[in-house]
Structures are given as C-alpha cells and as structure tokens.
Chains A and B, each alone.
Chain A
Amino acid sequence: MVKEIVNQGVAINKTAFSYRFKRDMKKNYSLYILIIPVLAFYALFMYKPMYGVLMAFQDFEIRVGITGSDWVWFDNFKRFFADPYFKRNIINTVKISVTSIVFGFPTPIIFALLVNEISKKWFMRTVQTITYLPHFISLVVICGMIRTFVGSDGIITSIVNFFSANPVDESLLNNAKAFVPIFVASDIWQSFGWNSIIYLAALSAVDEQLYEAAIIDGAGRIRQTISVTIPSILPTITIMFILRLGSILSVGYEKIILLTNAFNAESSEILSYYIYKKGLISADYGLATAAGLFNSIINFAFVAAANSISKKVSDIALW
C-alpha cells in the first residue's frame, strides 16, 4: 500500500485507537449493523427505565414521581438494616439458597448423564417427558400436596417417624429445622426434570468422534464420561453455575407464603417475604426499591467474584 511505503521509516502504532477502530469497522461493519436491533432493545427497555433505581434514595410518592419526591439519601437503607429481623432474614435466605445450590445444582446434571445412558430410545423419551411435568403444576397445588405429605398423618411424616428417635404427631412443617430440607427437596422434585433439558441438549452436541477415539484407546464407559463427556459440557455447566450464583439472594416469596407458619418462621422468614409483609402495611416504594437494590448488589458481587475465579482457572466466563 502507498501509505505503508511512505510510513516505512516510522513505526506504526498498531495499538492506536484510530488504527484499531478503522480496522474493526472494516472487518466487522456488517456485524455492528446486524446487532442494532439488539442494542436498541436494551437501550429502550432496560436502560431507559433504569432511573427507577433512584427511588431507593427517595421517599417515593407515586403521584409526583421521581422528580417530585423528596430525597432521603441513605435513610431507606438505614431503616432497612436497622430492622430487628434483618440479620435473621439474610441468614435464612442464604441458608435456603446455598442448600438449594449445593443439592439442586448437580442433580439435573447427574440426571441428564444417567438419562443419556439409557439405551432404549422410547424409554429415554418417556422418562424425559414425564419428569419435567411437575414444573408446570402451579405452586399452589404443589404446596397443597407438600402440606399433605408432611402433615400429621402424611406419608413422608410416617416414613420419617419410622426412622427417627422422637416420632412426632404433628406436621413436619411445625419443625423449624425441617423447613429448609422440605423447601429445597420439593424444589428439586419440581424442577430437576425441566432443568436437565439444557444439559441433555449439551450432551447431544458432544462430538461422536471424541467417543470413538476414546474407545479405541480402550476407555470404558466411566472413563469416557470422565474424559470426554464432562469436559465437553463443562462450559455449559460453568456458565449455568455462575448464572445460578446470580440469584443467591433472590429466593422468591410465593412459595414461602404457602409453607410458612409461626413455628417454622425462624427458618422460613426470608428477606423478600419480610419486605412483602411490610409493604402490606404501608406502600413504601422507597424502602422496597432500596431492599431490591441491596439484593442486586450482593447478587452482582457474587457473580463478579465467581466470574473472576472462573476466568483465572479456565477460559470460561460470563464476561
């Protein structure tokens, strides 16, 4: 190129912004055009409304909106942290969330691996179709069933009593220690089938040739799983895990409402439920937004941490 000959004597600064920019445009011009609708979506529906976050710092009144409400800065947060039950709410939320991750995250993966081993296709399809059904039954009905099963003459209560040193004749839900297991176990029961779908998809995309190579090397099925299957779906697993951490403080209250009572409250009162209760007494948008913002910040911190660790250890990360 003429330019290059003229500039031969001078070192070209390949890291200069304008150089990189021009090169990027030439190479990826069509890509940027392609993505305009996506960017428009985020700008319009995600960023435009984001000023709502400011409500957390206001004594927000609906009628006058953000521009008309008083600024209380960190007052809402102070009130939020000062609540006598704040610590308990956080602990309960974290307990449920961590238990749910520890037991609930691997289950769909293991299930998917086992399903993948089924040799008869019709059986595999039947298993898949049936096990994802509970996901679609409404929470109200599921909780009704849970309360029956762990009720004073429920089938699960009877089983537990059989193995326990102190049989009880009341609902297991009256026992604060039993709450988290009941909550998490029923969650897993309802969702493991549905959650396994993404892993089954990932499993189906594993290159057959890798298996063939492993078999030639003399690997048995277990060896194949360890050295071919799992590494192949590891990116999916990692990303799913990091994303899962992103809801560590976000245990929803709908199910809590249906299962909580005064006896198990010391384990079942979580942050979102408490804020909901307060909201029933006084419509306090500022406080609710502050609580939500706190939630988001903690979730974000966890994900950011997990993301950095993942980046260092492997190549896989959210950003």
Chain B
Amino acid sequence: MKGKKFFMLAIAVSMVFAIASCGKSGDNEATEVVKATLSSTYPIETDQTIRWWQSSPVKENDKFAEFLEEATGIKVEWEFPADSGNASTAFNLMIASDNLPDVIQSGWANSHGGPDYNLDKKIITDLTPYMDAGIMPNLKAYIDEHPELKKMMTSSTGRYYYFPQILGDERLASFRTWFVREDLLEKANLEKPETLDEWEQVLYAFKDMGIETPLMAKFTGWQFKDDSPFLACFDTPGDFYHDGNTVKYGFYEDGFGEWVKLMAKWYSDGILDKDFLNETNEHWSAEIINGKNGAFFGSIGGNLGTYTDAINPQTGIRYTPCKVPSSKKGEKAMWSSKDFMVKAVGCAVSYTSKNKELAVRLLDYGYSKQGQILWNFGKEGVSYEMKKNEEGREIPTYTDVIMDPAKRNGLTQGEAMGLYTRAGMPISVQSIDYLFQNYKYQAQKDAIEVACGSRKDEYALPLGICNAEQEKKLADIITPVDTYREETISKIIAGKLPIETLEEYYKQLKALGVDEAISIYQEAYNKYLEKNNL
C-alpha cells in the first residue's frame, strides 16, 4: 500500500541524516589515575572557569556567586534552564545533546536508573578515586564525624557520586506539620492532641462547637502517600517501606483498611472535608482564613505563614502546631513527611568535564567550616554578623540587608536570602540557625521543633536502589494500582461505595500484581543491604 512505502521511505531518509550527523563523542576513556595537582588551600590560583548547571535561575547581580568566587578563587559560569517549570525537559535535552557542563546540580540520588546507572553510562564521574586521593578532605572529615551518613550518599556499589545537600540538624528535615485552632482548644478547655484518640475527641468537639469542616485534607497523588492524615497511627505508612529486612507496601496492609474505615466514618459525620478530592488552593485558603476549619496539615512557611498574614487578628483565629500524631501516648509516630539527612539533590561532576579536579575542589569547599557559613549565611559584615542568640550561643545572624524591609531595595526576604546566600539549598551542611531566623512568627518557630518527630528513618527505603529495568516494571504495575486505589478508596470514604468493597480492593490489588512489585523492591533492597554489609 502506498502509505507503507512512504513510511519506509521517510524513515530511511532520516536515518541517513541521523547517521551522517551523528557525532556523539564516543568514549572519553581517560583512565582515571587521579592525583592531587592543585593546592590544598583556598583560594586556588587558576584561570579556568567551571560551568555549573542548576534548575533555578541565577540573577546577573548575584552576590553569593561573588562571595563563592572570592573564597575559592574559582570563577563559575552559571547555567540554568529558561523555564524552571520544565527543568527536567531541559536536563534531558542537555544530556541528549552531549554538551555537559562541569558541574550538574540535580536530584542524583533518585534519578532515572539510580546513581549506578548514571555512573556506568558515563554521565557523571565516579568520585571515589578523588576521595581516596585526598582531594575531598572537607567532605571526608564530615563523614568521619558522622559515619552513618556514608551509606546514604554512596551508590549501591559503594561509590561516591555526588556532593549532596546535608542537613545539619534533624529539625530541618520537615517543612510540614499539623496545625490546630488554638482559640477553639481554649474555648473547649482541651489540650493539644497527641494521639489518634485525642485527635478524634478534639475534632468532634469542634464539630459540636459549630465548626463546618473540622479537618481539612487533600487526598490526591502524593498527598495520599506521604501525608494521609493519621495513616501512620495504624502502623502502616503509604507507599513502600521496610519492616526490618522485609519490604512491604503500605496500601496493601490491613492497617490501611482500618484507616479507610475511620475516614469513611469521619466523612459521614461531617468531620472530614467534604471536598477532599476537589480542593483548590483558593477554596482551602478561604475556608481557613475565614475560620470555617479546625485543623489542617500544611507547610510551615507557605501555608501557616500565608494564612497568618491574611487572617484578620480581630477574629481571634489562631493556629498552633502539633506533634506528629501517634497511636500510643508518649510514643513517637511511626512515619511522617520527612526528608533524609542526606538529600537527593546535590552536585555531580560530569564525565566529560575537562576540569574535574578543579570542580571537585570547588564543591568540596562547602563542607569546610568557612564553607558552611558561606553557603548558609553569605559574607561576614555584609549579610551576617556574629551575635549572641537567645540561648547565649554566638551564631551568624543575618543583617539588615536580609531582615529589614526598608533596607532591601524592594526585595522580599526570600529573594534577599537568595541573593546573598544559598541557605535554602546549600551544597554544604544546612544550618538550623538559618531556619529559626527565616520564620517570623512564633508559631512557625514552634512548628520547627515538632514537625520532624517520627521514626520514619527506621522504616523508609533508601533512595535510588532500583535500576532502570526494575523502575520500568514497577511503573507498569504501580500506575494502574495507584489509579485504582485513588478511585476506589475515595469512593469508599465518601460513602459512594460500601465499606465491604474493601475486601474486593485487596483482591484487586493482588490481581494487579502488587506481590510482584513488592518482590522487585525486595530484590533491590536485598542488594542494597548486601553491598552495605547490613
């Protein structure tokens, strides 16, 4: 048929073009004999420039860039995608076009195929020889002080592959927590709830006091997984996790069914947000600001901060943060929304870089004492000064160019911080002192203390343990499972399907291949345990 002929012709023609223009750089097989050649002190004398790619823009007049160059002696050319909303597209095109910069800042720990894939496919450089040759002394020193971090920042084959963002304090791990109406608690003479039972008591009390929607919630996508309210109280988190050495799937466990029953009860009693599926930011904000709500789970900065700004103080509406709800009094909750101490985002050195040692030295600076201060606070006398804080410790304290609206040239606090520092995403150890100075309301500072209180570290699966093949198989199984679960569970909770449907739910999950997904994960996890001698 004529159609087929054209198709073949078209393909053939373009293959010719493709092969003719295919100039992919073959192998950069410089055998990695790594020896230190540069000086071991900063600033380093060099006239080479390092190209650094990251997903968020760097302004022309960026002060932090100046400080970094001054301190390390290395000039950096910053590259970023034109549209930060499409950063992954830009990232993929960059990889496809063989034009890799020296340093790439991205989520390497859970990138496609995992760290070993990126190392083996010659996208990024294996940093282990550099570690061994003593070219990364600052990071090495920090790991020696905190040996438990080593397995979090090495690949499944034990190789170093990136310079990560490390959290200097557990309290930096979580930006979201539970908030409850303090004024209502006072009126009802109740304490801040800590266990599931206490929460139920409080929410029902709010309902009796005339609150329209005691519990606001959003139950879609990732919120179902990480932030399903009170799910952890049933001894099961959403998503995959490990109990000891066994991998389990939270949504498959019995505890999940119990949670669904509770949510269904709360829905029909009017405790749970009737619009939990349709929540828009506008509606959510309106309800909270107008006081129609009793409790919500949200972010400390973006949610609590925004709402506190918008709430008319005369209404007396006040929110206060709560501990992560647990099933037993006094015990820490099993799971919460929390990052690892070593974050997925960090800087890798590209395989094709011609300045690997220089790039490594540049990145290693962030982990030194001075480097940590630079990344978090900027330059002394300009963006910070050493002052005593309330506890009497001397800490870097942000100066007026960041904290005083009158001296900020029309920038917001966040913008000013982004101009002089990289406190929000340092290739370094993030300082807790930054966080406390960042928030202006006392409720926010209180929230920092409680947001991270869970035992998630005991149960969470490490990042990036699956290879590309396993990822594909998992996606094939989990996408329909997610789809089915969201639809069915939402309908059960809203009363559109009877509770008995739960039986069918578990059967259907089995039929969709959840057991196979679990065994794939188990395989990957076993390999991880083996390689790390655990």
Contact = CB atoms under 8 A, between A and B. Distances in A.
Contact of A62 (B14, B96, B482, B512): B96
A62 B122 CA distance: 12
A32 B513 CA distance: 60
Interface stretch (B47-55, B169-177, B299-307, B490-498): B490-498
Contacts, number: 115
B478 A263 contact: no
B501 to A, nearest CB: 14
Interface stretch (A10-18, A216-224, A248-256, A276-284): A276-284
Contacts of B512: 84
Contacts of A300: 3
A4 B512 CA distance: 78
Nearest to B224: A262
A147 B476 CA distance: 32
B33 interface: no
- Among A51, A67, A266, the one with the most B-chain Cβ atoms within 10 Å of its Cβ is A51
B24 interface: yes
A47 B13 contact: yes
B18 interface: yes
A48 B14 contact: yes
Interface residues of B, number: 47
Given A48-B17, A61-B468, A282 B112 contact: yes
Interface stretch (A96-104, A112-120, A167-175): A167-175
Nearest to B121: A63
A66 interface: yes
Nearest to A50: B14
Given A61-B468, A263-B277, A51 B14 contact: yes
B285 interface: no
8 contacts: A48-B17, A49-B14, A50-B14, A83-B480, A174-B277, A265-B483, A265-B487, A282-B471
Contacts of B475: 278, 281-282, 284
B95 interface: yes
Contacts of A64: 24, 121
B280 A144 contact: yes
A79 B476 contact: yes
B19 interface: yes
A281 B17 CA distance: 33
A291 to B, nearest CB: 13
B280 A47 contact: no
Interface string B468-480: 1001101110111
B260 to A, nearest CB: 13
A142 to B, nearest CB: 13
B486 interface: yes
Interface residues of A, number: 43
Interface in A259-312: 261-263, 265-266, 269, 274, 277-278, 281-284, 287, 300, 304
Given A50-B14, A151-B283, A274-B479, 13 more contacts: A49-B14, A51-B15, A53-B11, A63-B121, A67-B19, A83-B479, A84-B512, A144-B280, A151-B278, A262-B219, A262-B487, A269-B483, A274-B483
Contacts of A79: 476
A101 B468 CA distance: 41
B275 A171 contact: yes
A131 interface: no
B79 to A, nearest CB: 18
Given A263-B494, A282-B471, A65 B24 contact: yes
Interface in A26-59: 47-51, 53-54
Contact of B112 (A68, A262, A283): A283
Interface of B: 3, 10-11, 13-15, 17-19, 22, 24, 92, 95-96, 112, 121-123, 219-220, 274-275, 277-278, 280, 282-283, 468, 471-472, 474-476, 478-480, 482-484, 486-487, 489-491, 494, 496, 512
B479 A54 contact: no
B479 A65 contact: no
Contacts of A282: 112, 468, 471-472, 474-475
9 A-B pairs closest in CB distance? A262-B490, A282-B475, A51-B14, A50-B14, A281-B475, A282-B471, A261-B277, A51-B18, A48-B17
Contacts of B487: 262-263, 265-266
A158 interface: no
A54 B22 CA distance: 15
A51 B220 CA distance: 38
B96 A152 contact: no
B496 A263 contact: yes
A85 interface: yes
B491 to A, nearest CB: 7
A174 B278 contact: yes
A125 B123 CA distance: 58
Given A147-B278, A265-B487, A277 B479 contact: yes
A174 B17 CA distance: 51
A287 B476 CA distance: 10
Contacts of B123: 63
Given A67-B22, A261-B277, A50 B10 contact: yes
B121 A61 contact: yes
Contact of B491 (A85, A263, A274): A263
Contacts of A50: 10-11, 13-14
B480 A62 contact: no
Contact of A281 (B19, B474, B490): B474
Nearest to B120: A63
A207 B183 CA distance: 76
B96 A65 contact: yes
B91 to A, nearest CB: 9
Nearest to B491: A263
Given A50-B10, A64-B121, A282-B474, A262 B277 contact: yes
B415 to A, nearest CB: 24
Contacts of B479: 83, 274, 277-278, 281
- Among A47, A261, A282, A284, the one with the most B-chain Cβ atoms within 10 Å of its Cβ is A282
A79 B513 CA distance: 14
A276 B443 CA distance: 39
A209 B184 CA distance: 80
B98 to A, nearest CB: 9
A53 B14 CA distance: 10
Contacts of A85: 480, 483
Given A171-B278, A263-B277, A263-B491, A281 B478 contact: yes
A83 B275 contact: no
A53 B278 CA distance: 38
